Amino acid sequence: MKKEKIFPQHIAIIMDGNGRWARKRRLPRIMGHRRGTEVAFKIVQFSVKLGIKILTLYAFSTENWKRPKEEVDFLMGLLEDYLAKHRGMFQKQNIRFQVIGNWEVLPFGIKNRLREVIEATKNNTGMVLNIALNYGGRMEIIDAVKKIVGEVRNGRIAPEEINEGLFTNFLYTRGLPDPDLLIRTAGELRVSNFLLWQISYTEFYFTKKLWPDFTPKDLQRAIRVFQKRERRFGGIKRDYEGSL
Ligand code: FPP
């Protein structure tokens, strides 16, 4: 019997390698980020075409503040321009735009633009585009713990009620399924504090391609590799069940 190919519903991407892409061409790092943003735009559109339900992109981590101020300012400005430029596209493609992370502390301009796009697209029913901004997986877990402690203190939650399902509802990704597939570009084999809770059973796909060189074909390749994997979620292979 032919095995049915399962399509990943939720794909998360660590878009790494913008700086190296620029260095290889003796260009300033910001040129790599500019090109990386264009690629992100293409991949968003292609994901809609493929019918992916949720796309989560790691745009700025809680650790990225360590970069030179000019680079941080440039990245924020880039995202602001990107949002202004593509607002119409989000509506046309029925994309629901969301942000995960502690984005309330971001500079005024970008914060307002984010709010505007979140509000304008909140009733869209197509792909959810989740941008991780000032995001840290450990911080997300700590924030969830603090909120739960508050609820326990005011009597709305009994400690015995705390379980995985309840905990999940206090994460930034509340209401979304965990990623099926996590892609990281640029050859680094680590998760860099991304979606720590949510990737317990996620399949990983690493490629040496630098993010500015990543194409829709590369995304298709990652999906094909994912489809060959057997996800057991801690169980055993189905064929083995009868042969214990
Ligand atoms: C990693 O490259 C990339 C980032 C820290 C920023 C990612 C941001 C974008 C691609 C633009 C944001 C766009 C949207 C629309 C979400 P790096 O600078 O760490 O590269 P390196 O490891 O080669 O130095």
Q: How far is the CA of 212 from the centre of ligand 1 (A)?
A: 9
* Higher-scoring residue by pLDDT: 243, 156: 156
Pocket perturbation via mutation, ligand 1, pick of 33, 66, 72, 189 by most ligand atoms within 8 A of CB: 33
Is 16 designated active site?
yes
Q: Measured in angstroms, how far is the CA atom of residue 29 from the centroid of ligand 1?
A: 10
CB of 30 within 6 A of ligand 1: the answer is no
- Does the C-beta of 100 come closer than 6 Å to ligand 1? no
> Of the residues 64, 102, 124, 193, which is catalytic?
64
pLDDT tens digits, 7-65: 999 999 999 999 999 999 999 999 999 999 999 999 999 999 999 999 999 999 999 99
The minimum-distance atom of ligand 1 relative to the CA of 41 is 15
Q: Is 80 in the pocket of ligand 1 (CB under 6 A)?
A: no
| Mean of pLDDT values over 83-100 | 94
40: Cβ below 6 Å to ligand 1?
Answer: yes
- Fold of domain 10-139+179-229: Undecaprenyl pyrophosphate synthetase (3.40.1180)
Q: Tell me: the pLDDT tens digits for 161-213?
A: 999 999 999 999 999 999 999 999 999 999 999 999 999 999 999 999 999 99
Answer whether 59's CB lies under 8 Å from 83's CB: no
Q: Is residue 236 very low, low, confident or very high in pLDDT (cuts 50, 70, 90)?
A: confident
Phi, psi of 128 (to 5 degrees): -90, 120
Q: HEC states along the chain?
A: CCCCCCCCCEEEEECCCHHHHHHHCCCCHHHHHHHHHHHHHHHHHHHHHHCCCEEEEEEEECCHHHCCHHHHHHHHHHHHHHHHHHHHHHHHCCCEEEEECCHHHCCHHHHHHHHHHHHHHCCCCCCEEEEEEEECHHHHHHHHHHHHHHHHHCCCCCHHHCCHHHHHCCCCCCCCCCCCEEEECCCCCCCCCCCCCCCCCCEEEECCCCHHHCCHHHHHHHHHHHHHCCCCCCCCCHHHHHHC
- The candidate with the shortest Cα–Cα distance to 219, out of 5, 7, 2, is 7
For residue 25, how far is its CA from the centre of ligand 1 (angstroms)?
Answer: 16
Task: Check whether 80 has a pLDDT greater than 80.
Answer: yes
Two tokens at 242?
């009868």
pLDDT at 231: 78
Is the distance from CB of 29 to CB of 199 less than 8 angstroms?
no
Convert the pLDDT of each residue in 96-114 to its tens digit.
Answer: 999 999 998 998 999 999 9
How many Å lie between the centroid of ligand 1 and the Cα of residue 83? 16
State which ligand 1 atom lies nearest to the alpha carbon of 44: 15
pTM metric for this prediction: 0.94
Reading the block at residue 43, the tokens are 């991949």
Q: Is the CB of 99 under 6 A from ligand 1?
A: no
**Is pLDDT above 90 for 235?**
no
Is the shortest distance between the CB of 18 and ligand 1 below 6 Å?
A: yes
Give the atom of ligand 1 at the shortest distance from the alpha carbon of 210: 23
Q: Is 193 a catalytic residue?
A: no
pLDDT, position 233: 80
